[in-house]
Amino acid sequence: MAKSYHSLDPKRSLGQNFLSDPWWIARIADALSLGQEDCVLEIGPGKGALTRELLPRTRDLVAVEIDGRMVEHLQAELGHHENLRIVHADFLRYNLSNELGGRRVRIMGNLPYHVTSAILMRVLDEIRRGHEDGQAAQITDFSIMIQKEVAQRILAGPGSRTYGILSVFTALFCQGEILLDVPPNAFFPRPKITSAVIRLRPLPAPLAHVEDWDFFRRVVRAAFNQRRKMLRRSLSGVPGLPEPEALHDEDLLSRRPESLSVAEFAQLAARLGALNKLQQEDAHES
């Protein structure tokens, strides 16, 4: 039968590297440990190599794909499966809560390297909203295949040279582990780096209390933007943040960001936030 979809060559603009080795595809699916009653959302199924392996292992599979060529291909090859729903959408704009109807869901995907951070933050934000108002999608776990170096950064702890922005944001909401490494020859086109599959499981409650999530993110990002400098330097002159010297805490200000735990970052953001509020009130009164 003639295929109606266009060329399925990987698009460099979308960072596409397709899983192509059947042995590795099966091994990845095994590592995910799916159950027959699970509802699964797959980000970026591409040509559907992993999708085919997941279909007999789960009750419902929602495949969210941004590339129209791949959506057409998936519909032609796999659209007859009753437990598969193919969605043509950008995951970063996909409304998890509305589309999944409050069901518990396991999210997974082979993520393009250039959007890993954005997708991770999108899922963490959904987990955060679930803690705050209970209206977000109920995410059981989040398993993604990403560049191994990025996986190590995400799971790094305080004091590590790879500990950074993603480490803090992830640890606030999740526990994580590396399930397995995946070599370059498992993909087409073959990347130059080794990948890793990591699993993140949401904590019952955030690791530390954060009053203002947006302000907390601003503080953490500002601190790590100059990670080799002490906090008094890295947080100084940042728009929207009070001058750190106003904290009058010499021990804290002389530390570097990689030495702070998640709880300490939460405390720092809370103190800076309180200062910021006082300064705004004083400015308004004057």
Report CA-CA distances (Å) from 188 to 8, 19, 33.
12, 6, 25
Q: What is the CATH number of domain 213-285?
A: 1.10.8.100
Q: What is the CATH number of domain 12-202?
A: 3.40.50.150
Q: Residue 6's pLDDT is what? A: 42
Report CA-CA distances (Å) from 104 to 37, 136, 241.
10, 10, 38
Backbone angles phi, psi at 140, to 5 degrees: -75, -45
Dihedral sign (CA 206, 212, 213, 219): negative
Dihedral sign (CA 51, 182, 106, 72): negative
Model confidence, pTM = 0.90
Question: What are the extents of the domains in the chain?
Answer: 12-202, 213-285
Residues 154-191 have pLDDT tens digits of 999 999 999 999 999 999 999 999 999 999 999 887 88
Residues 62-115 have pLDDT tens digits of 999 999 999 999 999 999 999 999 999 999 999 988 887 778 999 999 888 889
